[in-house]
Amino acid sequence: MGGIRWAVPSMYHRRLLLVATGLSVLTAGLSVRLAALTLVHGQEYRDKAESVLTEKKLLPTARGRILDRRMRVLAQDKPDYVVSVRFPVITGQWAYEQASEAAYRANRERWTELDDEAKDQLVAAFLPAYDRQVEQMWQALSRLGRVPPDQLEQRKTTIVRRVNQIASSVWAGRLRERAARYNEPVRLIDVAQPIGEQVAYHEVLTNLDSQALIAVQGLIDAAKSDPALAVWEQVQVEPSKTREYPLETMTVVLDRSSLPGPLRSETPVEMTVEGVAAHVVGSLRGVLKEDVDRRPYRRGDGAGQAAIDLAGYLPGDRVGSWGIERSQEERLRGRRGQVVRHIDSSHEVRDEPVPGEDVVLTIDVALQSRVQAVMDPRLGLTTVQRWHGERPAPGSLRPQPGEPLNGAAVVLDVTHGHVLAAVSLPGISLGRLKDDPDSIWGDKVNQPWVNRVVAMPYQPGSTIKPVALVAGVTEGVVGERETIDCRGHLDPEVTNRYRCWIYKAYNSVHGPLNGDEALARSCNIYFYTVGRRLGAARLVRWYSDFGLGATTGCGLKEEAPGDLPDLSRASDPAAGGFSADDAVLMAIGQGRVRWTLLQAVGAYATIARGGRVVSPTFVMSQGQGIAPQKVGQLALNRAAVAETIEGLGEVVQQRYGTAHALVLLNEEPIFNLPGVRVFGKSGTAQASPLWVDQNGDHRFTSGVDKVVRKGDHAWMICLVQRPSSEQPDYAVGVVLEYAGSGAMVAGPVVNQILHAMRAEGYL
C-alpha cells in the first residue's frame, strides 16, 4: 500500500487511477464480448439480419419423363390441383374437438364443477351438428371429384393406416432411445406426442375439373364467415404436379387361331390390360425420413453454417418407390429453383429450376401390352388346363384346374441385350394400388409386388443343361460329339439314386447319347456325368461366368443375384456346395443353384452370341447414374456352341424332343409360327414348398407357418431366329410357379409370345 502512495502521492490521483482501472476492465470486457459476437457468432447474426432483409421463394421443378424405346411416354408430370384435408377431420377427431369447445363455451361458468360424465353428456349434445358438417363435406367432395363414396372411404382408411404405421414406428424409436438413455422402462404415453403427419393435410382428390375446383374453393372461402361450414377451413386446394402414366392401361386384339385346341378360336379377342410395365416403370411415394437423411434440403457444413441443396428433399416431395422411378431417382428428380429478393434494395437474384432428365427404356410398350395380354389368366394359357399333364388331386397344394398361375416372361434382344418386354404375374395396377392397396401389400401368398423377372430366383431344372454342356465340352471333360450311355441311373450298383427321369417314369433308358441328343431328350445321366467330370468348383466358376450369383446391373434395384456357392471358399472343406454330389445335382439345375428369369435368358443369349457377353438392360439412354452394360468374351469352344444350338433345335423340332408336342392334345406341335427357327429347352424344376411367414421371424416354424404351395416350376427358354439371320435374334423365357411340366405349361405361352412379336414386327 505504501508503494502505491509513493507512486500516487495524492488522494485525488489515487481515486482517478481507480476509476481509470475500472473503465479499463469494463472496456476490456466489452471488447471481449464484441469479439465473441463478431468472430464466434458473427455469421449467425448476419444470417438473421439477412433473413429479415430478404425474402426467399422456391421454384418447383419438373420430374423427367420415362419413355419407351420408340419414344412413347410411359411416365410424365402433369400440372394439376389437389384437394387435401387435415388428418383430424379424416379420423373424425375434429368433430369431437369442436363439440368439446362448443360445450365448454356454453357452460364456462360451471365447467370446473362438472364431473367427466356430465361433460361427456354436454359434448354429445353438440357432436351431431359437427358430424353432419363432416359428412356433408365428404359427400360434396365425392360429388365434385366424381369419386364413389366407398372409394373415397377407402382412401381415407389408407391414409389413417399409413399415418398410424408411421406414428407407431416413430414412437417405438423414441421408446428404445429413452429406455437406452435412462436405463429404465418407459411408458408409451411418455413418448406418444403427435407427429407431423397427424396434424398435416393429406391428399384426397386429384384431377378435378375447373368447375369443381371453383366450387371447392368457394366453400373454403365461405367457411370464413359461416360457422355451419367451419369444417371447410380444414380443406385446402393447392397446385401440384401429378405423375401421369398414360399407357398404363392399353387395349390389344389377340388372334386366337394358333392357341392350343381347347382355347382355339377363329374369332379374335379384345383384351384391356392394366398395369402395363408397372413392375418396370414403377411409381412414386411420399418422402420419408430416410430420404431426407440421405439428401437433406438443409445441411450443416461443420462450421456452424447451413448449406442449402436445392435438389434435397423437403416434406411433401415425391420419390421413386420401385422400378425405374426408384433406380433413376437422382436423374429424374431435377433441382428446384429459388428467387431471393432483397427488401432494402428490391433487387432479385433468380436461380432457375433444372428439370429432371428423361430416361429412355429398352421396353417396347406395344409389345409389352401384347405379352401381358398373352400372360393374362383370362386368355387361359396361365391357368391350369387339362393338357398340362397330371391333374392335381382336389385339396392338394398344387394349383387346381382353372386356377391362375404366378410367374414371369421376358423378351431379350440378343445382339444388344435390350429387354423388349418383361411381365410379372400377378400384375399390379396403379389404380388398384391407390384404391385398394391391401389387395397388393397384404397378399402374402401371391406377392404381386415382386417383379418375378428380376427379383425371384428359381431352381433352373433342365434349362441349365445347355450351360453345363458348353462348359463341359470347352473344358475338354466331354469330347465333341462324345456319347455317354444312359442306363437309367448314374452308378451301376446304385439303382435308386441319381436316376434319369425316363427311368423313374417309365423304367426305361435313353442308351448312348451325344451332347445334342442328350439336350433334346433332357437326359439326366449325361449331365450328371458332365457335372461329375467337371467337379463342383469348376462348374460353379462356369455358372458364375455366365452371370449366376451376381446381379446383371439391368437398371432395377429390386434385382436379386440368385444363388450359387461362394467360389472364394471352394478350398474350404467346411464350405457348402463343393462336394461331388453338389456337382452332380447342379449340372441338372438342382441343389445349390438358383437363377432369375433375366439371368437365364441372358445366359442363353451369351451362348447364341458364341460366348460374347452383353449384360441385359432395361435402360437404353446413358447418363448420370446409369452403369454401362457389362461386355466381355467367354472363350467357348465353337464346336460346343454348335452342338448346343443343334440340341436346342432338336428339343422343339424333332418328335423325340421334350418340347415338341402337346402329348394330351393329339400331339399338337407346341410351336406353330411359320417362317422362324426356334431353339429351346424346357425344364420341370423341383421347387421348395412355398410357405407364409405367419410370425414374421423369416424362418419356417412347423405348426406356426403355413405351407401354401408344392410342386415343380415350369420353364421354357427359347432362342428365335429369322430366316435371314446367321444367329438367333431374340431370347424368350417363361417360368410358371408350381405349374408342373415345363413343355406342356410354359411352352404354349412362349409360342404365343412369338406370335405377339410377329404382330409387332419383330419376327
Q: Domain 50-63+278-360 is in which class?
A: alpha beta
Show me where the domains of the chain are located: 2-40, 50-63+278-360, 79-244, 381-759
* Confidence (pLDDT) at 4: 43
Among 35-49, 119-133, 571-585, 626-640, whose mean pLDDT is lowest? Answer: 35-49
d(CA 104, CA 456): 60
240-296 pLDDT tens trace = 778 999 999 999 999 999 999 999 999 999 999 999 999 999 999 888 888 888 888
Mean pLDDT of the chain: 88
If pLDDT is split at 50, 70 and 90, which confidence band does 738 have? Answer: very high
Q: Which amino acid is at 455?
A: A
d(CA 697, CA 172): 19
Three-state SS string over 18-45 comes to: HHHHHHHHHHHHHHHHHHHHHHHCHHHH
Q: Which fold has domain 381-759?
A: Beta-lactamase (3.40.710)
**Mean pLDDT of all residues in 143-172:** 88
Q: Provide long-range contacts, Cβ within 8 A and 24+ apart, for 212-218.
A: 212/144, 212/145, 212/146, 213/81, 213/237, 215/140, 215/144, 216/83, 216/140, 216/141, 216/144
Q: Can you tell me whether residue 396 is helix, strand or coil?
A: coil
* Confidence (pLDDT) at 624: 54
* Confidence (pLDDT) at 23: 54
Strands 419-425 and 631-633: unpaired
**Residue 309 scores a pLDDT above 50:** yes
* Confidence (pLDDT) at 169: 79
* Confidence (pLDDT) at 669: 96
**Residue 194 scores a pLDDT above 90:** no
* Confidence (pLDDT) at 15: 55
d(CA 755, CA 674): 10
> What is the number of helices (H) and of strands (E) in the chain?
24, 29
pTM above the 0.85 mark? no
If pLDDT is split at 50, 70 and 90, which confidence band does 415 have? Answer: very high
**Residue 17 scores a pLDDT above 60:** no
**Mean pLDDT of all residues in 651-666:** 94
* Confidence (pLDDT) at 559: 96
* Confidence (pLDDT) at 362: 96
**Mean pLDDT of all residues in 358-366:** 96
* Confidence (pLDDT) at 283: 94
If pLDDT is split at 50, 70 and 90, which confidence band does 21 have? Answer: low
Cell of 31: 471488447
More confident site: 392 or 135: 135
Q: Do domains 50-63+278-360 and 381-759 have the same CATH topology?
A: no
pLDDT > 70 in the chain, percent? 91
